[in-house]
Amino acid sequence: MTRRHHLVPGLLVALAVAATACSGPNPNPDASPSAPGPTPTAPTPTVPPGSAAPVTGPYAPTIDPGAFRATVDNPFFPLRPGMTWEYRTSTADGLETTIVTVTTATKTIMGIVCVEVRDTVRLDGQLKEDTFDWYAQHRDGTVWYFGEDTKEYEDGKVVSTKGSWTAGVAGAHPGIVMPAQPNVGDRYRQEYLAGQAEDMAEVLSTNEQATVPTGTYTGIVTTRDTTPLEPDLLETKYYARGVGVVLVVDVHGGGTRDELVRFSS
């Protein structure tokens, strides 16, 4: 889960077309023909934001282990060991509390050392979910999500591990949690295991404001998170610089707010 997640090589690139210019007649026929000018150089192609994890077509991103590092310092999704976030949500079933902590552990996935994050959810004090997530950052600053080990509980017993996946195993692929430079309109897969983990996101804004118990944040990046596995699920997430997720609004759930109530870095 990417809080509350429940985003290189192989990119789409546009081809540049060089235009040729026509010259008029030589005004001085006795003069030597002028030397041809330099051959036009096609501009360096740019990478469409989020295209490393496209939301359409077959999905199999090319991952170069040498292009990743375990240090995750993207300003909108920082993950330093010891960082902790606490969120609270008032639901029809009771008060839901989520604690997210960046552990000191790592996990090597697809040859990449990933940061481990633990996410525990309690409903009125009773353990509901316990998840370990793994992330790594591309050298361009994009944060990728490489898998999760999740367990759901009832009466203290594990009742489901649905949603668990590890990139590179059984057809699972990593996805993008946060682009290096998010732009409005960016769309990307956050994870992929057919029928198990198919979350996607789209950047809606890069200049929003949100007020939650920990304060008022500006210059926020907001995303719309969806999944074809749950068509009725639609969340808007608010990412603040230097903090990460500060608010999640369940759009189809009557506007339920999952708010950041405590943060330590």
pLDDT at site 189: 97
Average pLDDT, the chain: 85
pLDDT at site 252: 83
User: Does residue 92 lie in a domain region?
Assistant: yes
User: Does residue 45 lie in a domain region?
Assistant: no
Residue pLDDT, tens place only, 167-177:
999 999 999 99
Residue owning tokens 């192609």: 45
Domain count, the chain: 1
Average pLDDT over residues 205-218: 98
The residue range of the domain holding 202 is: 65-264
User: Does residue 52 lie in a domain region?
Assistant: no
Average pLDDT over residues 66-79: 96
Contact in structure between 259 and 98 (CB atoms under 8 Å): no
Residue owning tokens 């590092």: 69
pLDDT at site 33: 40
Cα 73 to Cα 55: distance, rounded to the nearest angstrom:
25
Cis peptide before 4 (omega within 30 of 0): yes
Encoded tokens for 106: 């790592």
User: Does residue 81 lie in a domain region?
Assistant: yes
User: Does residue 70 lie in a domain region?
Assistant: yes
User: Does residue 5 lie in a domain region?
Assistant: no
H or E segment at 84?
A: strand 84-91
Residue pLDDT, tens place only, 127-156:
999 999 999 999 999 999 999 999 999 999
φ, ψ for residue 174, nearest 5 deg: -75, 165
Contact residues for 48 (Cβ-Cβ < 8 A; gap 6+): 11, 12, 14
* Listed range (43-57, 75-89, 115-129, 179-193) with the worst mean pLDDT: 43-57
Q: Of 91 and 46, which is predicted with more confidence? A: 91
User: Does residue 58 lie in a domain region?
Assistant: no
pLDDT at site 42: 40
Residue pLDDT, tens place only, 1-41:
344 444 333 333 332 333 333 333 343 434 334 444 444 44
Contact in structure between 5 and 190 (CB atoms under 8 Å): yes
Residue owning tokens 């989520």: 98
Is residue 45's pLDDT more than 60?
no
Cα 175 to Cα 55: distance, rounded to the nearest angstrom:
10
User: Does residue 212 lie in a domain region?
Assistant: yes
Contact in structure between 137 and 144 (CB atoms under 8 Å): yes
CATH of the domain at 116: 2.40.360
Instruction: Give the whole-number percent of the chain exceeding pLDDT 90.
Output: 76
Average pLDDT over residues 73-95: 96
